[in-house]
């Protein structure tokens, strides 16, 4: 068997070496000529088409240790797959070893401590399902098929609970990690505190997390949430309203503004399907009755379609799932901003009108609240004091639409650079190079590089928004 190595060379794996891995491994080892190979190598983004040398579908931490040691011994190129939602496709490699956690999705809620522990390949739908059975939730992703692994490790800075309960990483209490030399460590505030700090935003740079423990909060099961849709001729008015509205909100309300075409979704009247719209989306993380007066100014604008209503929290968390299935093509870029000047609003409206496919959209997410009351160096995520994140997300179904969509995202993003952005969220970035990674982590990059040197000195875990080990 031949594999790609970290330095670009090739490793010949003998039958004896492979047999050693087989003996230590309980899950599934999937080779390129196995019938499951194609399904297993494909991740969410249809743009990514890579063929690993071997896929190690782990059944638990012991398998992860065996796979990491095998990769380390032979200096193999490694990709770690959690939920497979990485936009740039970091969870699959060409020719190397794909350590696949998709069979590790166990979840256990502990009611006594109000915590949940979930395996490294679990999805947000898994965590929400078990937690909501007890009226509990942690700050998680807004699409139920996104992995908790990549999202938490990148910081988890987009969630409907962010202003009330902080980011996903803020709710992480401990993590079991297999580091580059195959050691199994439990990191928390009191054990391997440097590693624990790095895991709360530093991405998959520091090891393979086999399980995550999160703090839970009382949420729902019904929450006042959803979206108000306005026809495009009001786009500027609604965008300006939004920028003003968010200036004074209680922590309970987390919101976003979208410029989109109303999707052909069953929850929308057919008359609006496909029409350009400005959308204000919101979730009130408190009693629905208390949220009504807070969202009243949005309703007072008389939206064309008003879908802000009490709904089950799990319904909110899977609201967008059907629109973004596995295999869709996607490209995304993003930046944080302290303020959105009037000239930027004009640019946003003009660029939205140039998008090549209706499914593509932008979202402006408002922050502040609990997340902003924590210092920027408390975790690697250094954008806590930013007011907004603004992302250009292109989605399309036909390969012939790729070039136009990628160009639209890149050009739109570039045009926004004129309005003083401050760096991105690593989970909303394409492959944009080392300087962009540094820019995103701001003052925290050098500390991350020093911790990387301790836990992964050879940069075995490099398929991520990579932090190079400090020299």
Among 153, 243, 344, 389, the residue binding ligand FAD under the rule CB under 6 A is 153
CB of 114 to ligand FAD, least distance (A): 22
Choices 200-208, 283-291, 307-315, 401-409 (CB under 6 A): range interacting with ligand FAD: 200-208
Q: Does 85 bind ligand FAD (CB under 6 A)?
A: yes
Residue 72 or 156: the one with the smaller Cβ distance to ligand FAD is 156
Q: Does 80 bind ligand FAD (CB under 6 A)?
A: yes
Q: Does 462 bind ligand FAD (CB under 6 A)?
A: no
Among 3, 70, 87, 413, the residue binding ligand FAD under the rule CB under 6 A is 87
Q: Does 291 bind ligand FAD (CB under 6 A)?
A: no
Choices 22-30, 52-60, 144-152, 373-381 (CB under 6 A): range interacting with ligand FAD: 144-152
Residue 80 or 277: the one with the smaller Cβ distance to ligand FAD is 80
Q: How many residues bind ligand FAD (CB under 6 A)?
A: 36
Choices 28-36, 68-76, 148-156, 348-356 (CB under 6 A): range interacting with ligand FAD: 148-156
Q: Does 469 bind ligand FAD (CB under 6 A)?
A: no
Among 101, 311, 352, 386, the residue binding ligand FAD under the rule CB under 6 A is 101
Among 136, 142, 235, 256, the residue binding ligand FAD under the rule CB under 6 A is 142
Among 21, 116, 143, 389, the residue binding ligand FAD under the rule CB under 6 A is 143
Annotate each residue in 295-334 with x if it binds ligand FAD (CB under 6 A) or - if it does not, as one string. Answer: -----------------------------x----------
Q: What is the 3-state secondary structure (H, E, C) of the chain?
A: CEEEECCCCEEECCHHHHHHHHHHCCCEEECCCCCCHHHHHCCCCCCCCCCCCEEEECCCHHHHHHHHHHHHHCCECEEEECCCCCCCCCCCCCCCEEEECCCCCCEEEECCCCEEEEECCCEHHHHHHHHHCCCEECCCCCCCCCEHHHHHHCCCCCCCCHHHHCCCHHHEEEEEEECCCCCEEEEECCCCHHHHHHHCCCHHHHCEEEEEEEECEECCCEEEEEEEEEEHHHHHHHHHHHHHHHHHCCCCEEEEEEEEECCCCCCCCHHHCCCEEEEEEEEECCCHHHHHHHHHHHHCCCCCEECCEEEEHHHHHHCCHHHCCCCCEEEEEEEEECCCCHHHHHHHHHHHCCCCCCCCEEEEEECCHHHHHCCCCCCCCCCCCCCEEEEEEEEECCHHHHHHHHHHHHHHHHHHHHHCCCCCCHHHCCCCCHHHHHHHHHHHHHHHHHHHHHHCCCCCCCCCCCCCCCC
Residue 93 or 235: the one with the smaller Cβ distance to ligand FAD is 93
Q: Which residues within the stretch 422-441 sit at the binding site for ligand FAD (CB under 6 A)?
A: 427
List residues binding ligand FAD (CB under 6 A). Answer: 43-44, 80-87, 90-91, 101, 120, 141-143, 146-147, 149-151, 153-154, 156-159, 203-204, 208-209, 324, 427, 463-464
């Amino acid at each position: 068997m031949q594999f790609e190595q970290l330095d670009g060379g090739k490793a010949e794996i003998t039958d004896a070496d492979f047999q050693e891995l087989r003996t230590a491994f309980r899950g599934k080892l999937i080779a390129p000529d196995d019938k499951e190979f194609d399904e297993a190598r494909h991740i969410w983004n249809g743009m990514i088409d890579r063929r690993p040398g071997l896929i190690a579908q782990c059944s638990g931490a012991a398998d992860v240790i065996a796979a990491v040691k095998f990769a380390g011994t032979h200096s193999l190129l490694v990709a770690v797959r959690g939920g497979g939602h990485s936009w740039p496709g970091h969870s699959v490699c060409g020719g190397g070893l794909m350590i696949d956690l998709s069979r590790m999705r166990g979840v256990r809620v502990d009611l006594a401590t109000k915590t949940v522990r979930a395996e490294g390949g679990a999805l947000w739908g898994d965590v929400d399902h078990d937690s909501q059975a007890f009226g509990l939730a942690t700050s998680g992703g807004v699409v139920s098929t996104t992995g908790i692994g990549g999202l938490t490790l990148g910081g988890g800075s987009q969630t409907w609970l962010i202003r009330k309960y902080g980011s996903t990483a803020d709710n992480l209490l401990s993590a079991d990690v297999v580091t580059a030399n195959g050691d199994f460590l439990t990191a928390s505030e009191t054990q391997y505190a440097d590693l624990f700090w790095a895991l709360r935003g530093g991405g998959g740079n520091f090891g393979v997390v086999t399980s995550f423990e999160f703090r839970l909060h009382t949420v729902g099961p019904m929450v006042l949430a959803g979206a108000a849709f306005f026809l495009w001729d009001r786009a500027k008015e609604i965008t300006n309203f939004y920028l003003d509205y968010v200036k004074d909100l209680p922590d309970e309300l987390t919101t976003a503004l979208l410029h989109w075409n109303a999707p052909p979704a069953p929850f929308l009247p057919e008359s609006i399907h496909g029409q350009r719209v400005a959308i204000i989306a919101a979730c009130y993380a408190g009693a629905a009755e208390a949220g009504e007066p807070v969202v009243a100014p949005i309703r007072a604008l008389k939206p064309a379609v008003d879908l802000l209503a009490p709904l089950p929290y799990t319904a909110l968390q899977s609201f967008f799932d059907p629109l973004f299935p596995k295999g869709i093509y996607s490209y995304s870029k993003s930046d944080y901003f302290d303020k959105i000047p009037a000239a930027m609003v004009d640019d946003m409206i003009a660029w939205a009108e140039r998008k090549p496919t209706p499914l593509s959209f932008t979202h402006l997410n408002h922050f502040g609240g609990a997340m902003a009351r924590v210092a920027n160096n408390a975790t690697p995520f250094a954008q806590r004091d930013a007011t907004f994140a603004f992302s250009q997300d292109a989605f399309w179904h036909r390969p012939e639409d790729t070039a136009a969509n990628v160009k639209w995202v890149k050009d739109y993003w570039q045009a926004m650079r004129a309005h003083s952005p401050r760096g991105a969220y690593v989970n909303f970035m394409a492959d944009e190079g080392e300087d962009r990674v540094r820019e995103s982590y701001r003052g925290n990059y050098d500390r991350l590089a020093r911790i990387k040197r301790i836990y992964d000195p050879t940069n075995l875990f490099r398929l991520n928004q990579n932090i190079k080990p400090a020299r």
